[in-house]
Amino acid sequence: MEVMEQEESQQEPIFFGTGPPLYEAPDLGEDAGLYMEFMMKNCCYDAIPTSCKLVVFDTTLQIKKAFLALVANGVRAAPLWDSKQHCFVEVYLQSSFKPLIYISPADSLFHAVYSLIKNKIHRLPVMDPVSGNILHILTHKRLLKFLHLFGDTLTRPRFLQKTILELGIGTFRDVAVVQDTSSVYNALEIFVERRVSALPVVNESGQVVGLYSRFDVIHLAAQKIYNNLNISVRDALRLRSLSIEGVLMCYPHESLEVVIDRIVREQIHRLVLVDEERRPRGIVSLSDILQALVLTPAGIDRNSL
């Protein structure tokens, strides 16, 4: 990818740091273990949809063709098949290669959540231990959706009515945002430096006006606009298609139930926590919610993973 030189006047990334610590285990009360037990009792096979798309690439396929194939099929990752070894060896993402970490259909959904968060991955192939075939790729989004759909069969826990502020679920300190007048190049630098996958975009008044993700950069490459990374983030957001994840927000006074419903309904990966003036106060992600509902009640602290 050709990268233009960054202008000397480029703006520095902005950080906001109010709120609770970066991560503190929420107190969910006596109902804390309800969803943890539910995920322990259900296996990965239960979460595989009746019909789904799975794209598989051979390791000999050119990277450019693999990238374009992912974009054309509307997927973000594909397992890589080594025809010489007759097995899957890696997972190809649109921006990198990842070692193959997989799970069995018979393993619990609790194990799936643990594997995703512990290994800091976003996609977990479900592999048949007999045939070696990959049946599906589990994600945080799919697991929360399963919990949302079938969690209604359980007694509704009281902590769902507590607010995000009370529970402290999310990241509230040392979170980077980018100004809408900053360049895409500047956003890329922040992605690499901070190892984050999305940045809230703010205007000159400090109000949230968008969310720019690594996937949006991939979208630019698919449109062959990657030779001009000095365009502003504001212009880049205008170029993306409507199907790309937009910005959705939540407020500190909203309940956890409302936040989960919004994330599942809109099929997004995160919400930007804002105050009444739409100024950013934090990020609430899928992994934050799954950590709080599933792992923390089991005594598994994120900081210890």
Q: Is residue 176 part of a domain?
A: yes
CA distance 67 to 170: 32
pLDDT of residue 11 exceeding 50, the answer is no
| Number of domains comprising the chain | 2
Q: Do residues 233 and 165 both lie within one domain?
A: yes
Q: Count how many residues are written for the chain.
A: 305
Q: Is 280 helix (H, G, I), strand (E, B) or coil?
A: strand
Q: CB within 8 A of 136, min separation 6: which ones?
A: 47, 48, 49, 52, 54, 125, 126
Q: Are 147 and 293 in contact (CB under 8 A)?
A: yes
| CA atoms in the 13 A half-sphere facing the CB of 88 | 27
Q: Is residue 9 part of a domain?
A: no
Q: How far is CA 59 from CA 50, 89, 279, in A?
A: 28, 9, 45
pLDDT digits (tens, 9 = 90+) for 252-278: 999 999 999 999 999 999 999 999 999
pLDDT of residue 230 exceeding 80, the answer is yes
The whole-chain average pLDDT of the chain stands at 84
Q: Do residues 193 and 259 both lie within one domain?
A: yes
What torsion do the CA atoms of 244, 142, 260, 250 make, to the nearest 10 degrees? -20
- Our CA angle for 258, 262, 266, nearest 5°, is 170
Residue that is last in its domain, among 153, 181, 212: 153
Q: Do residues 269 and 138 both lie within one domain?
A: no
pLDDT of residue 4: 38
pLDDT digits (tens, 9 = 90+) for 106-140: 999 999 999 999 999 999 999 999 999 999 999 99
Range of the domain at 270: 14-28+158-304
